[in-house]
Amino acid sequence: MMQIDCPHCGPRAQVEFKYERTLDSVVTLNMSAQEAVQRLYARANPRGEDDELWRHGFGCRQWLVLRRHRVTHEIGSVTAFDPAVHL
């Protein structure tokens, strides 16, 4: 089990969190339909590090961005999600 260091609550067990999606698959309201379909259905599935969107469901209920290695599950960083920065 992974331990995730929530920037609001400190280190917590993975069971408190919910994986949502990779950050590059988030669709905003101002995107064209073609770009939205591309982001949702035609994304790369890289091996190695990727930015993922998680939610701390059993804690502060905040959205977080985890930089996680997809093979080893090693967490490189955890930051609070800010749409102005991350989208």
Range of the domain at 63: 3-86
Number of domains in the chain: 1
Tell me how far apart the alpha carbons of residues 87 and 82 are, in angstroms, rounded to a whole number: 8
Q: Assign residue 29 the CATH number of its domain.
A: 3.30.2270.10
In degrees, rounded to 5, the angle at the alpha carbon of residue 39 between the alpha carbons of residues 36 and 57 is: 100
- For the chain, the first-to-last Cα distance in angstroms comes to 29
pTM: 0.86
| Averaged pLDDT for residues 1-6 | 93
The single residue listed with the structure tokens 């988030």 is 26
Within 8 A by CB and 6+ apart from 56, the residues are 6, 8, 9, 12, 16, 17, 62, 64
User: Is the pLDDT confidence value at 5 over 80?
Assistant: yes
pLDDT in tens, 49-68: 999 999 999 999 999 999 99
As a whole number of angstroms, the distance between CA 84 and CA 87 comes to 6
